[in-house]
Amino acid sequence: MRKIGVLTSGGDSPGMNAAIRAVVRSAIYHDIKVVGIKKGYEGLINGDIEDMNLSSVADIIHRGGTILRTARSEEFKAERGFQKALNVISIFGIEGIVVIGGDGSFRGAEKLSQAGIKTIGLPGTIDNDLAYTDFTIGFDTAVNTVVNAISNIRDTSTSHGRANIIEVMGRHCGDIALYAGLAGGAESIIVPEVPFSIDDICKRLIQGRNRGKLHSIIILAEGVLKDSHEFAKQIEEKTGIETKLTILGHIQRGGSPTAFDRILASRMGGRAVELMMEDKTSRVLGIKGNEIIDMDISEALSIKKEINKNLYELAKILSI
């Protein structure tokens, strides 16, 4: 293995920079040349590629976002765009590519690998929606951002005796809502994977108020409801408790990565280079019980993500 490329693709997540740094530095340590491919598969198609050295990744371990930038490329999905990408890979003499991104990015890596390019995928997404790994890079930071927001909202919520709905990211996967809700002591957690009843939520609010609770937090994963403003209105009408809605939005995608995410990204980045050297490619990296694992890309993508029912039930028990 003489030369590898690294790219970030799809939605960005805190810790992507730590992962890039680990790939670049590990490769250089092992005398492998490394290039940075800008803006994901779009940059691969356009040859937007630059040599990386030790200094290219200096002073980035603590930064959110991705220095390589990211994109979603429809062109890459089409045969013509894909062929262009293969040509660029050949022209630049790239023998392997480390793809940092979510499930869509992994589908792209799977396609490259079927075309004979050595690929390794690192799970970079705040959503934690990849079933083969316990955690993805960026999830822990996003959860901590939400927990901080819950604490801030709880302060003012208590002063006014209000209920607060906090809408968090996770269109198809409720992990951010679940973990942040548990850590933030939310009264109710609404996720796409579990049906809910508004009457049940209202009952919990009323019971809480009757035993003297001054605040109530409801964590709502985005995409569960069409109109969360309407939902807040309905709760207020049914309970008589003033109910405010806060939509956290993109605040969850940025910020300095937590130590957990930096360590996870560093471990995975280092392991990706080792796997390239062992010629064990077409793999994605994950973490299971604090061990870094690797799995065939197609196999990993075929596993269906499910919500952790035990955590969900625990959160419910603890919020009575």
Q: Which parts of this chain interact with ligand ATP (CB under 6 A)?
A: 9-11, 41, 72-73, 76-77, 101-105, 107-108, 111, 125, 127
8 or 243: whose CB is closer to ligand ATP? 8
Residue nearer to ligand ATP on the CB measure, 105 or 164: 105
Which CB atom, from 165 or from 268, has the smaller least distance to ligand ATP? 268
As given in the structure block, the two tokens for residue 209 are 């108020």
Residue nearest ligand ATP, Cβ-based: 104
The Cα angle at residue 253 between residues 102 and 35, in degrees rounded to 5? 55
Task: Name the helix (H) or strand (E) containing 168.
Answer: strand 163-168
| Distance of closest approach, residue 32 Cβ to ligand ATP, in angstroms | 25
Q: Which of 5, 213, 192 is nearest to 96 (CA)?
A: 5
CB of 75 or CB of 95, closer to ligand ATP:
75
Least distance to ligand ATP from the beta carbon of 70, Å? 8
User: What minimum distance in Å lies between the beta carbon of 113 and ligand ATP?
Assistant: 11
Active-site pick, 127, 129, 261, 294: 127
Examine the residue annotation and report whether 127 is marked as an active-site residue of this protein. Answer: yes
Q: Which is nearer to ligand ATP, 102 or 184 (CB)?
A: 102
- The response to whether 66 counts as a known ligand-binding position is no
232 is in an annotated binding site: no
**What is the chain's alpha carbon radius of gyration, rounded to the nearest angstrom?**
22
d(C-alpha 217, C-alpha 252), whole Å: 18
Angle at which helices 309-318 and 175-184 pack, to 10 degrees? 30
Residue with tokens 């625990």, as numbered in its chain = 314
23 vs 271: CA distance, rounded Å: 8
Q: Taking the CA of residue 192 as centre, how many other CA atoms within 13 Å lie in the half-sphere pointing to its CB?
A: 20
For the bound state, the minimum distance from the C-beta of residue 73 to ligand ATP, rounded and expressed in Å, comes to 4
Rounded-to-integer distance, Cα 221 and Cα 41, Å:
29
Q: Whose CA is closest to 287, among 179, 133, 130, 137?
A: 133
Distance of CA 103 to the CA centre of its chain: 10
Min separation Cβ 130 and ligand ATP, Å: 8
First to last CA, the chain: 57
Please indicate if the annotation marks 250 as binding a ligand: yes
CB 190, CB 178: distance < 8 Å: no
Contacts of 18 (CB under 8 A, 6+ apart): 60, 61, 137, 257, 261, 262, 265, 266, 269
DSSP 128: -
148/127 Cα distance (integer angstroms): 18
**Of 105 and 157, which has the nearer Cβ to ligand ATP?**
105
CB 75 to ligand ATP: min, Å: 8
Per the annotation, binding residues for Mg(2+) are 103
Which residues line the annotated binding site for ADP? 21-25, 154, 185-187, 211, 213-215
Binding residues for substrate: 125-127, 162, 169-171, 222, 244, 250-253
Q: Which residues are annotated as a binding site?
A: 11, 21-25, 72-73, 102-105, 125-127, 154, 162, 169-171, 185-187, 211, 213-215, 222, 244, 250-253
Which residues form the catalytic set?
127
Binding site for ATP, by residue number, is 11, 72-73, 102-105
